[in-house]
Amino acid sequence: MAKSGLVAEAWLEEMMRAQVAATKRAYAEWDDPHRLSQRLGLSVHETSIGLGREGAAWAQAIYLDPAAGVPARRQFTFYHEICHHLLRRDDELFSILHDQYETDTLLQTISERLCNVGAAEFLLPQATVRAATLEHGFSIALIEALSQPGRVSRVAACAQLTFCAPHHCIAVVCHARGLTATASRLPLADAAPPLLPMTHPFGQANVRAQRERVQIVCAFRSPQTKYACAAGTMLPPDHLLTSMIHKPHGEPVKAMAPIPFRRQTQWEVACEAVRLGAQVFAFFHLDDPSPPTPGQMRLW
């Protein structure tokens, strides 16, 4: 864990947002990541990175996989990598992170989270999201309302909503895991491979059951929330989110459901879920039911 008694994670996120705001003020080209990168002295290279990665930030360069996801997702990835460079150039924030997070794994985890916060702030400012939640209430329906084709992906809208949540909240994005190379290359895109049928003859259950598994491809948590779900977690066949892949597009469902932690900790809370295209989005609201006992807190 991070050292106790130091800078709260929520404040680190505010420092990241302040860095993005300062960048927007300093560079009129901020809304074009290619031009912004040029102004920041960064070279941009489009190439396959491997290891399932969509982007990377090394030295004074950004590397992007041009085939990873739809344009809106690639836009988010581009800003995410720019934020890695902004973070390194912020002496105060960078120093705090290295002092507070003592292992490479912890430092990478918080850095990735802060760069997600920064990318979301470039594309969909916190003020816009908070205005929407004040007018309409915090709802899964805002994911579609706040997304913009070609610019703000549903995943980005989901992320910023979670970062702005006024309560303890965990968000997950899932899709049906296929056996094709295409399916594995587009885990975070708004346009994923077609959904696969759930019903099948008994005799073909082994092969098709693998094809129909539903997997978390990314997850976010509100600033107040210390627990998180893990990308790559496979959902059990009887989970609410598994059944959602066959619901009509855009039709939200509200029900009690267990948070899909990797260690299968049983913590059932109020859940909102919706299928949008080939993805299932869900918010797990932690404030209503009683939290799990301390013995259940080890999630990873």
For 101-131, the pLDDT digits (tens) are: 989 999 998 999 999 999 999 999 999 999 9
Pairing of strands 61-64, 43-46: parallel
Return the domain boundaries, the chain: 9-123, 166-292
CB 154 within 8 A of CB 190: yes
Give exposure, 227-243, as e/b (b: 16+ Cβ within 10 Å). bbbeeebbbeeebbbbb
**DSSP labels for 165-225?**
-SS-EEEEEEEE--SSHHHHH-SS-SS-SPPPPS---GGGHHHHHHHT-EEEEEEEE-TT-
Cα–Cα distance, 143 to 162 (Å, whole number): 10
Query: How many whole angstroms from its chain centre is CA 271?
Result: 17
Helix (H, G, I), strand (E, B) or coil at 52: coil
Predicted confidence at residue 177, as pLDDT, reads 62
**Helices 104-123 and 91-100, interaxial angle, to 10°?**
140
Q: Compute the half-sphere exposure of residue 40: CA atoms within 13 Å on the CB side of its CA.
A: 32
Predicted confidence at residue 174, as pLDDT, reads 94
Task: Show Cβ contacts of residue 253 under 8 Å, excluding neighbours closer than 6 positions.
Answer: 240, 244, 247, 272, 273, 274
Fold of 9-123: Arc Repressor Mutant, subunit A (1.10.10)
Predicted confidence at residue 208, as pLDDT, reads 42
What is the full per-residue pLDDT of the chain (300 aa) written as tens digits? 445 557 888 889 999 999 999 999 999 999 999 999 999 999 999 988 876 688 899 889 999 988 876 777 788 899 999 999 999 999 999 999 999 998 999 999 899 999 999 999 999 999 999 999 999 999 999 999 999 887 888 999 999 999 999 899 999 999 876 533 333 333 333 433 333 333 333 234 333 444 567 999 889 999 889 888 998 899 999 999 999 988 999 999 999 999 999 887 789 999 999 999 989 999 999 986 544 443 443 333
User: Residue 263 belongs to what H/E stretch?
Assistant: none
Predicted confidence at residue 5, as pLDDT, reads 57
CB 238 within 8 A of CB 150: no
Q: What separation, in Å, do the N-terminal and C-terminal C-alpha atoms of the chain show?
A: 12
CATH superfamily assigned to domain 166-292: irre protein (3.30.450.130)
* 129-160 tens-digit pLDDT: 999 999 999 999 999 999 988 788 899 999 99
9-123 and 166-292 share one CATH topology? no
What share of residues in the chain are helix, strand, coil (percent, to 5)?
Answer: 40, 20, 40
Phi/psi of residue 226, each to 5°?
A: -95, -15
Of 279, 263, 274, 209, the closest CA to residue 238 belongs to 209
